[in-house]
């Protein structure tokens, strides 16, 4: 069992060390005021005038000055098999984690971040980018989107997802990363999604943050509202 370092009944903001817009952190913390940093995210937090409740990671990116200032909230995780984003996410028990600064625009970092979402389907997490949001679709999801809103679905593995409210419905379609995908779809109004397994990423425009947060928090306390942890 993973060690829980931060436990909260409310959403948590997780700040990584990659480049991000200042507005992204401010808006994330408006929804999730409790701040946790992943390694070098501790420096980013201090630069933004914030003191994280915990800094989690292998500490190879955190500056010496930040180590001194944040000494009482450092939680080193020495293993080198996973990213600091992974280390931090699995150490947080919360209804939702809003992750900022975990991709930085580099393809390798972005792919690594998506892998973390897939690896921990039991840890609801929404990654905030400069232009878009991405999260693993829970078993049931209802988005209060306006008509015309872009809604993209990307399959990490082959599978299906039932849908309502999309201009091009996905119900009954076989989706796969090397076959048919569901990107650049459009909402005709509120959208409902029901994937058959934890394998579908939902990608929304950046301005849909409040809509996505409300939708994901609506699953809290609902029977079968989140996926179980992966075996092993």
Q: Convert the pLDDT of each residue in 78-104 to its tens digit.
A: 888 999 999 999 999 999 999 999 987
pLDDT at 138 over 70: yes
Burial class from Cβ neighbours inside 10 Å (0-12, 13-18, 19+) for residue 218 reads middle
Cα(60)–Cα(76) distance, integer angstroms: 10
Same domain, 159 and 112: no
Same domain, 40 and 151: no
Residue 232, in any domain of the structure:
no
Q: How is residue 188 written in tokens?
A: 């005709």
Q: How many domains does the chain have?
A: 2
- Burial call 130-165: b when 16+ CB within 10 Å, e when fewer: eeebbbbbbbbbbbbbeeebebbbbbbeeebbebeb
Averaged pLDDT, 189-204 = 97
- Which pLDDT value is given to residue 79? 86
Share of the chain above pLDDT 90, in %: 85
Same domain, 17 and 38: yes
Averaged pLDDT, 24-48 = 97
What is the average pLDDT score of the chain?
94
CATH value at residue 76: 3.40.50.10240
Task: Write out the residue range of the structural domain in which residue 28 sits.
Answer: 6-130
Same domain, 172 and 94: no
Q: Give tens-digit pLDDT for 144-191.
A: 999 999 999 999 999 999 999 999 999 999 999 999 999 999 999 999
pLDDT at 108 over 80: yes
CB 150 within 8 A of CB 185: yes
Cα(99)–Cα(213) distance, integer angstroms: 12
Residue 42, in any domain of the structure:
yes
Same domain, 114 and 16: yes
pLDDT at 223 over 80: no
Same domain, 43 and 117: yes
pLDDT at 6 over 80: yes
Residue 115, in any domain of the structure:
yes
Same domain, 72 and 163: no
Same domain, 95 and 31: yes
- pTM beyond 0.85: the answer is yes
CA dihedral angle for residue 198, residue 200, residue 206, residue 212, rounded to 10 degrees: -50
Same domain, 187 and 124: no
pLDDT at 43 over 90: yes
Closest CA to 191 of 132, 140, 145: 145
pLDDT at 56 over 70: yes
pLDDT at 1 over 50: no
Q: What is the DSSP secondary-structure string of 19-31? A: ---HHHHHHHHHH
Same domain, 10 and 113: yes
Residue 206, in any domain of the structure:
no
Residue 67, in any domain of the structure:
yes
């Amino acid at each position: 069992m993973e060690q829980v370092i931060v436990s909260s009944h409310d959403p948590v903001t997780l700040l990584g060390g990659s480049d991000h817009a200042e507005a992204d952190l401010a808006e994330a913390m408006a929804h999730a005021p409790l701040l946790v940093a992943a390694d070098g995210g501790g420096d980013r937090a201090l630069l933004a005038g914030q003191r994280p409740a915990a800094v989690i990671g292998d500490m190879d990116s955190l500056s010496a000055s930040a180590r001194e200032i944040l000494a009482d909230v450092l939680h080193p995780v020495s293993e080198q098999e996973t990213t600091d984003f992974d280390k931090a996410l699995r150490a947080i028990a919360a209804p939702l984690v809003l992750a900022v600064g975990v991709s930085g625009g580099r393809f390798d970092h972005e792919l690594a971040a998506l892998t973390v979402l897939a690896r921990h389907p039991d840890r609801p997490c929404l990654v905030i980018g400069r232009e878009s949001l991405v999260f693993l679709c829970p078993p049931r999801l209802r988005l209060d989107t306006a008509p015309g809103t872009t809604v993209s679905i990307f399959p990490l593995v082959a599978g299906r997802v039932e849908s309502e409210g999309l201009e091009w419905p996905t119900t009954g379609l076989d989706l796969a990363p090397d076959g048919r995908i569901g990107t650049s779809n459009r909402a005709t109004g509120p959208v409902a999604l029901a994937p058959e397994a934890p394998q579908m990423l939902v990608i929304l425009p950046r301005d849909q943050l409040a809509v996505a947060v409300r939708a994901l928090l609506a699953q809290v306390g609902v029977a079968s509202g989140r996926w179980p942890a992966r075996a092993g």
